[in-house]
Chain A
Amino acid sequence: MAEALDRQIPLSGGGFPQSGVPVIRIDEEAILVDKGRKGDAAALESLLLRYQNRIYNVILKICANRDDAAELSQQTFVKIIENIKDFEQRSGFYTWAFRIAVNLALSYRKRKGRIVFGSLDERSEQGGDAKKLLREIIRNDISPDPAVLAQNKELCELVTRQLEKLTDEHRVVLILRDIEGMDYAQIAQVTGAELGTVKSRLSRARDALRRFLETVV
């Protein structure tokens, strides 16, 4: 615990914390968790408020539906409140909370079946510029600024569609690693998989995404 005190966890954003993003020190989180375990509603609310965007976004990336993501986020919050007294702090709070969120989202996906996506061909005409940009990024040796890319909605949508093509297992590890910025051990804790399995899944997921993107361009 002591050695983790200096770790800083971004409260919002992906694996590339931008400047100005508020952070919560681990000792502050531990205090909130302690209070929350004793039934302090204010501490719990504070914790949830800090993580609600991240939880919502992870669920959204998995289930690809905003309404469902909101409901599953609420369900995650209820679950966190109901079970935090049993939380033994063997892992970080946000790892534990993400585990609940990811499991709920995957369970929801299993109940609802595969996501029905719109045909990419239908969107191909709309995303002509995005495809051109993507082709340049993939095939040429250019490295655009992520902030600039994030502003191109068509490109983001195109990438999101390719992400949704992956299997649930591959999509989850990619989201946790490349969007949430978790390390392998945290991904293993969240998904309940072995470390080697995480590495293998991540490798295959990236390779699959690379091939999907190449197919598009």
Chain B
Amino acid sequence: MRYEENIEQLLNGFIDGQLTPREQTELKRLMRNDAQLEKRLAQLQKCRMLLASLPVEKAPDGLIERVGIAETTRTAFGGPRRLSADIPPHREESVEPASLRQESIGPRRAGLAETGESRRASQGGPAPAETVRTGARELMLRKMLSAAAIILLTAGLLVIVWMVVSPGEQIPKPTVAAKKPAETPAAETKGTAEKPTPKPAPTDTKVTEAASAAGDIKPSVVVAPSGMAYATKQPDSEKAVGAETIFSGTLELKANKLLAADVALKKVLEQTLASEFVRLPTESAKGSLTGGDKYVYALDCNVAKMNSFLAAAEVIWEQFSDAKLLVPAGPEQQGVVIDSVKTWQIGDLSAISEPERLMKAANYYAILNNSQRILQQDDQALAQGEEDILQLLDKPKPKPVLTKDEQPVEKRPAGPQKVHLTIELSADQK
């Protein structure tokens, strides 16, 4: 195939007189040995002759006159520019067909070729200079309209952005459960178990409206992340500003020896919490020299101090015949009562910052303690039975094996987080 192409090009070069003497000699040698080659050469020469014999037609009369050389030259060489004169400048080596425009064709046939100026001239239109001015005005008008539209759009966009990001307006207003200023903490704790107050502050909350000035009776509003709000205890001092109460509960303690237990409890409180607890007056204490049959303490401290108190209270915990923790209801949960609550359980719960987890843990401890109480009775029977069997078999009692503490250890949240615990100590009536 390549050979054939070369031969063909040699033949054509020979016809056109473009071959070098050496190529001509080579071709003649080839043709002497190949009669077909000579025949092809003859046919190609005849084709060329036929083409060359095609008649040359004369251009139509007035072809150049219709172009309007003088006018076109004047326009092309600095005269009034046509509106269609934005034809890209011709470059000698790159005349692209696509860059050619219909407007620059002479007015020979309507609809296909007509110069802008000749069209205007034939229609008696305005002079080119006037047309240019009109075009410039239109262009300016379009630019101004475009600029106005852009400004309006930008302004609208800014308004929308401001509406989205502006503080306060678009955030759903939290429901504020206002607390009467005169209400005392004792009144708050009263009847907590039956009807938990909305006071408990959810965790991970932020104070949106702190007490702005001393004596301001407006309740502070704590807004939960979901937008729910609760009334919190009115801070007594500026120390409370910024601190959030992550846990609030009521611990009901019962003791057979009320006075002794109260003394011990008060001592522990004084040792661990110093001034961060108050003893509240009760109805039964009025007119009673001994203080009545019920003592109420309100504790407001941080988690660390609460843990210190609970650790110290572990020593006196045996003095209480019953310990019951009331975890008040959250916004969407029911309150939980944990019987036979342990100090470490209170510590764990007071450190949980999320309301949902708090309620889950409280439920878990409530079930656990109830189960243990039931199992304890069985264990006593089993232990008795086991001892009997061991005595019968004369085998040593198996030693207890230390097991890993499986209780989850809550990480103490950092920051000024406070816990509130109301302790109601009363005499065991049983």
| Contact residues in A for B90 (Cβ distance below 8 Å) | 79, 82-83, 86-87, 100
Say if the beta carbon of A57 comes within 8 Å of chain B: yes
What sequence of 0s and 1s flags, for each residue 58-100 of chain A, a beta carbon within 8 Å of any chain B beta carbon?
0011000011001111110111011101111011000010011
Q: Are B54 and A156 interface neighbours, CB within 8 A? A: yes
- Of the listed residues A60, A83, A153, A184, the one surrounded by the most CB atoms of chain B closer than 10 A to its CB is A83
Q: For residue B107, which residue of chain A has the nearest CB?
A: A74
A-contacting residues, B65-82, CB 8 Å: 66-67, 69-70, 72-78
Contact A200 B9 (CB under 8 A): yes
Residues of B within 8 A of A30 (CB): none
Interchain CB contact (< 8 A) of A71 among B73, B94, B113: B113
Task: Name B96's closest neighbour in chain A (CB-CB).
Answer: A103
Q: Min CB distance, A171 to chain B, in Å?
A: 10
- Contacts A103-B96, A150-B53; is A71 near B16 (CB within 8 Å)? no
B47-88 interface with A by 8 A CB criterion: 47-60, 63-64, 66-67, 69-70, 72-78, 87
In the complex, what's the smallest C-beta–C-beta distance from A135 to chain B, in angstroms?
12
Q: Closest A residue to B90 by CB, please name it.
A: A83
Q: Which of A73, A81, A137, A163 contacts B76 (CB 8 A)?
A: A81
Contact-residue bracket for chain A: 35 or more
A137 nearest CB neighbor, chain B only: B46
Q: Nearest chain A CB to B148's CB is how many angstroms away?
A: 38
B256 interfacial contact with A, CB 8 Å: no
Smallest beta-carbon distance B45→chain A, Å: 8
Which of B50, B73, B106 makes the CB contact (< 8 A) with A75?
B106
Q: How far is the CA of A149 from the CA of B51 in the complex (A)?
A: 10
How far does the alpha carbon of A78 sit from the alpha carbon of B73 in the complex, in Å?
9
Total inter-chain residue pairs, C-beta < 8 Å: 201
Q: Choose among B13, B16, B43, B91 the residue that contacts A210 (Cβ–Cβ < 8 A).
A: B43
A132-151: CB near B (< 8 Å → 1, else 0) gives 00100110010100110110
> A179 to B51, Cβ gap below 8 A?
yes
Q: Which residues of chain A (173-217) have a CB below 8 Å from chain B?
A: 174-175, 177-179, 183-184, 192, 199-200, 202-204, 206-207, 209-210, 213-214
Q: Given the complex, which residues of A lie within 8 Å of B43, measured CB to CB?
A: 138, 210, 214
Minimum C-beta distance from A59 to chain B (A):
10
Given contacts A77-B64, A78-B67, A209-B47, A99 and B95 within 8 Å (CB-CB): yes
- Determine whether A24 belongs to the interface, using a CB cutoff of 8 Å to chain B: no
Contact with A199, one of B12, B104, B113 (Cβ below 8 angstroms)? B12
Interchain CB contact under 8 A, B57 and A78: no
CA distance A106 to B95 in the complex (A): 12
Once A78-B115, A199-B12 are accepted as A-B contacts, the answer to whether A67 and B109 lie under 8 Å apart by CB is yes
Task: Report whether A86 and B91 are in contact in the complex, using a CB–CB cutoff of 8 Å.
Answer: yes
Please tell me if the beta carbons of A52 and B64 are within 8 angstroms of each other in the complex.
Answer: yes
In the bound assembly, the distance between CA atoms of A16 and B12 in angstroms comes to: 17
A-B contact pairs, 25 of them (CB 8 A): A14-B52, A16-B52, A41-B70, A48-B64, A48-B67, A67-B109, A71-B106, A74-B63, A77-B64, A77-B69, A78-B104, A87-B92, A90-B93, A103-B95, A103-B100, A146-B52, A150-B54, A156-B55, A159-B54, A160-B54, A175-B51, A178-B51, A184-B18, A199-B13, A213-B50
Beyond A52-B59, A52-B63, 11 extra complex contacts between A and B, CB < 8 Å: A41-B74, A60-B57, A73-B63, A75-B113, A77-B63, A85-B77, A103-B100, A150-B55, A183-B18, A199-B13, A207-B8
